[in-house]
A and B are shown apart, each in its own frame.
Chain A
Amino acid sequence: MMQLNWAPKNIPEILAATWQHLVLSVSSVLIGLVIALVLGIICARRPRFYAVVLTITGIIFVIPSLALFALLIPWLGLGTKPALVGLSSYCLLILLRNVVTGLRGVPADVLDAADGMGYSGWQRLVRIELPLALPLIVSGIRIALVTVIGIATVAAFIDGGGLGTIILMGIDQSYTEKILVGGILTALMATFFDLVLSQAEKALVRWR
C-alpha cells in the first residue's frame, strides 16, 4: 500500500475542494433540471419542437467538455460562471429526454379522468403528470449528476475549482498521491449519488 504523505496534512484543503466540487455539480444539475422541466413540458405534446430541441441539446452533449468550456471563455471569462453554464448545458440532453419520456408515459385514460374531474391544464400537470413522471425524472437526475461529477474535474482547468484542482496540481508537480486523492474522491462521490438516487428511484416506484 502507498504511504499517504500529503493528504493527512491537507484535510481542510481536500474538504474544501470536495465541497466546491459538490456544489458545482449539484447546482449545474439543478439549473439544467429547471431548464429541462420547462422545455420538457413544452415539448411533451409538440413532437416537431421536441425534435429540434433534442438535436440542439444532442449537439452540446457531443462537444468535448474542454472544448465547450473553451468556447464559453471568450464570452464568460474564466471561473465558476463558464463552468456552471458548460456543465448545466451538458446535462440538458439527459434530463430533457427523461422528463419528456416520463410525461409521455402517463396513460391517456389517467389524463382523461383528470380532465373529467375538472382539473385545469396546470392542475393536471402538477398533481397528475409530474408525480407520475417522477421516477423517470429522478433517474435522469441520477445519470446527469454522475456524468457531471466526472466532467466537473475538467472545470478546474478554467479555474472552476473542485477536485480537478487537486488532480491538476498532482500532474504539475508529478505528485501521484494528489492525482489518486482527487480521482478517487470524485469516483466515490459519483458512486455515492448513483446508489442514493437509484434507491430513491426504487422507493418512488414502490410508492406510486
Chain B
Amino acid sequence: MLITAFNWIVNNQPEFLRALGQHLVMSGVSLAFALAIGLPLAVLIINRGGLAFTVINSINALRTIPSLAILAIMMPLLGIGLWPSIVALTVLALPPILLNAFIGLRDVDPDAVEAAIGMGMSRGQVLRKIRIPLAAPAMFAGARTAAVQVLAGATLAPFIGGGGLGDFIAVGISMMDMSRLLVGAVPIAILALATEFTLGLVEKVFFAERTSA
C-alpha cells in the first residue's frame, strides 16, 4: 500500500507538489499572522490588568472551540477557499502564542525587573530591555506549539475548500482508496514531526543556556 502511495506521488508530482505548497503556504501565512497579532497584543496587555483579564479569558474560551468548528464557521462568514482557511488557522494559532508570551512576560524574575527600575529604567525600557528578552524562550515555545497546531488544522482545510494535503485524505476516504489516503496522511505526519523536531532543536540551540541560567 505504501509503495502504491509512493508510486502515485511519483506519477502525479505536479498535483502532489501543488497540495504540499498549499499546505505550507496556508500554515506559514497563518502562523506569521498569528505571531504578528499575538506578540504585540501580549506586550500591549502585560501592564494593563483589566484588559489582560478580558483578553486571557476570551482566549481561554476560544481554546475550547474545536478546530473543525472554527474552520467550518469561516464558510458562512467568508466563503470557501484558501483565505477563509488562513483566517481560521490564524485564530487557531493565536491562543498558544498569546498565552505563552503573556505568561513569559509576566513571570520574568522580579529581581531583574526591580534591579532595572533601580537603575532608573522607565516602564517602557523595562519592557524592551528586560521583559521581552527574558520572555523570548517562552514566546518561541508558544510559536512551536502553534506551528504544530496550525499544521494539524491545515489538514482539515479541504472541508472548506482550502486545499492542502488533507485533500488526499478526504478523497481517499470518500473513494475508500487506501493508498490515496496514505498519500495525504504520511506526508502530513512527517511534516508535523519534522517541524516539531526542528523547532525543538532550534529552541535547544538558542535558549538552552538562558533557561538553565
> Which A residues contact B (CB, under 8 angstroms)?
59, 62-68, 70-71, 73-74, 78, 146, 149-151, 153-154, 157-158, 164, 167-168, 170-171, 174, 176, 179-180, 182-184, 186-187, 190-191, 194
Contact = CB atoms under 8 A, between A and B. Distances in A.
A151 B152 CA distance: 11
B148 A62 contact: yes
A70 B184 contact: yes
Contacts of A157: 159, 170, 173
Contact of B173 (A65, A70, A170): A70
Contacts of A164: 66, 68
Nearest to A183: B69
Interface stretch (B32-40, B121-129, B133-141, B187-195): B187-195
B69 A179 contact: yes
Contacts of A180: 73
B189 A183 contact: no
Interface in B44-75: 61, 64-70, 72-73, 75
Interface in B144-174: 148, 151-153, 155-156, 159-160, 166, 169-170, 172-173
A52 to B, nearest CB: 16
A158 B172 CA distance: 11
A10 B75 CA distance: 23
B76 A70 contact: no
A174 B76 CA distance: 7
A66 B64 contact: no
Contacts of B69: 153, 167, 179, 182-184, 186-187
Contacts of A168: 68, 72, 159
B178 interface: yes
A191 B64 CA distance: 7
A151 B66 contact: yes
5 contacts: A63-B189, A64-B155, A180-B73, A182-B72, A186-B69
Contact of A187 (B65, B166, B189): B65
- Of B1, B184, B189, chain A has the most CB atoms within 10 Å of the CB of B189
B182 interface: yes
| Nearest 7 CB-CB pairings of A with B | A183-B69, A64-B152, A70-B185, A67-B188, A176-B76, A153-B66, A67-B185
B87 to A, nearest CB: 15
A179 B181 contact: no
Contacts of B186: 67, 71
A41 B156 CA distance: 36
A146 B61 CA distance: 12
Given A73-B178, A73-B181, A66 B169 contact: yes
Given A154-B156, A171-B72, A67 B184 contact: yes
B76 A64 contact: no
B188 A64 contact: yes
Contacts of B73: 176, 179-180, 183
B196 interface: yes
Nearest to B149: A64
Given A73-B178, A154-B68, A179 B192 contact: no
Contacts of A167: 66, 68-69, 72
B185 A62 contact: no
Given A63-B193, A70-B182, A171-B75, 13 more contacts: A65-B152, A66-B156, A66-B166, A70-B181, A70-B184, A71-B182, A74-B182, A150-B65, A150-B66, A150-B67, A153-B68, A187-B69, A191-B64
